[in-house]
Amino acid sequence: MNTSSPRYSGPAIAAHWIIALLILAAFPLGVYMHDLPLSPNKLKLYSYHKWIGITVLLLFVPRLLWRITHRPPAALPAPAWQHRIAELTHVLLYVLMFAVPLSGWLMSSAKGFQVVYFGVLPLPDLIAKNPELGDLLKEAHEALNFALLGLVGLHVAGALKHSLIDRDGTLRRMLPFGH
């Protein structure tokens, strides 16, 4: 068991867990609100969902810049195929952290519902109102969300495998507490 492996930096750990918690809040909220009948409560939940998505998008930019400019700790020993899966999973997670909220914003624009961040900051529509395109973007947004859910599941499974089976310290390097 490796207990002295280098940890991720504080900003990397903070960004990881804040964005993870936001995604873990947004997904079930999106599923829940999807089939609710139109009501003030549904509109409120849609606003919360959009605020979470825009926050993920806003946090993604500094997270990506940090990741590009700060090398993470070296990967711990594992078979090459596991390293390749981990690298591909991380790349796809970054792509989806951008694509999921962006597709939601595009969908809202196409459906004619402006995003008003925290109810006070109107964000520009990214495209003109187009109901047919809005329906396509809705499908894309849902598909991207389920892809994100699958990758998050794979990521969590990998972290748990490293922690519970390999006991190699991989998970501990990203935890917000401990050494």
Q: Which domains does the chain have, with CATH numbers?
A: 10-174 (1.20.950)
Distance from C-alpha of 158 to C-alpha of 85, rounded to nearest angstrom: 10
pTM: 0.89
Distance from C-alpha of 157 to C-alpha of 166, rounded to nearest angstrom: 12
CB atoms within 10 A of CB 56: 23
For the chain, what percentages of helix, strand and coil (3-state, to nearest 5) are there? 70, 0, 25
pLDDT band at 76 (very low <50, low <70, confident <90, very high): confident
Query: Is the predicted pLDDT of residue 4 greater than 60, yes or no?
Result: no
Distance from C-alpha of 150 to C-alpha of 99, rounded to nearest angstrom: 15
Those residues whose C-beta lies under 8 Å from the C-beta of residue 123, and which sit 6 or more positions away, are 54, 105, 114, 115, 116, 117
Q: What angle do CA 120, 60, 163 make, to 5 degrees?
A: 125
pLDDT at res. 169: 82
Task: Give the residue, 102 or 78, on which the prediction is more confident.
Answer: 102
pLDDT band at 176 (very low <50, low <70, confident <90, very high): confident
